[in-house]
Amino acid sequence: MIRKKVSGFTLIELMVVIVIIGVLASLAIPRFTEASDKAKAAEAPRILASYESAQLAHVAEKGWVGAASIVEDDNSLIFNLNAIGDSKWFSYSATGGAGPVATAPNGDEASLDAGPKGSIGKWLAATRITLAVNNQGEVARSGTTTTTIKLIPNFRDQAFQ
């Protein structure tokens, strides 16, 4: 009697493979969503860092803070909030600033506020971060939660020299 060799996988082997794939997927999916949330949340601090840099450059050159759209003498924009507008994930609003005038009051301050349009991971929809620069080049950073405070750019901690 000649025996035929049966090839293939048993039901147990297939079930073990399915369980292993399920365990790997359960570990990978949360990490993927966390990485996606981090990427979305990274937008606002970068915009705020650009704003801070532009305002500090403007204070160094002109001696006063600019408005949301910081304009130089040659009418080129250093930072244009109107061009950024609201992004897919965040809404931005600017307040204060002297605008393009010869002199500005010493107490003048320009600030940029950013908040997500919806919850982004640990960053809840109601949380906001604000960055303010005054005529002396002093930068004030604030956030509504410890999560947002960790995301605030930190170029300088001292007054502009």
User: What are the residue boundaries of the structural domains of the chain, listed by start?
Assistant: 11-41, 43-151
Return the sign of the alpha-carbon dihedral for residues 150, 153, 157, 159: negative
Q: What percent of the chain has pLDDT over 90?
A: 11
The answer to whether 79 and 113 have CB atoms below 8 angstroms apart is no
Query: pLDDT tens digits, residue range 76-102?
Result: 666 777 667 778 888 888 887 665 444
Query: pLDDT tens digits, residue range 109-124?
Result: 888 888 888 888 777 7
Name the CATH code of domain 43-151 (choices 3.40.50, 3.30.420, 3.30.700, 3.10.450).
Answer: 3.30.700
Of 74-78, 110-114, 142-146, 157-161, the poorest mean pLDDT is in 157-161
Confidence of residue 159 (pLDDT cuts 50, 70, 90): very low
- Global pTM value: 0.68
> What share of residues in the chain are helix, strand, coil (percent, to 5)?
40, 20, 40
Q: What is the rounded average pLDDT for all residues in the chain?
A: 77
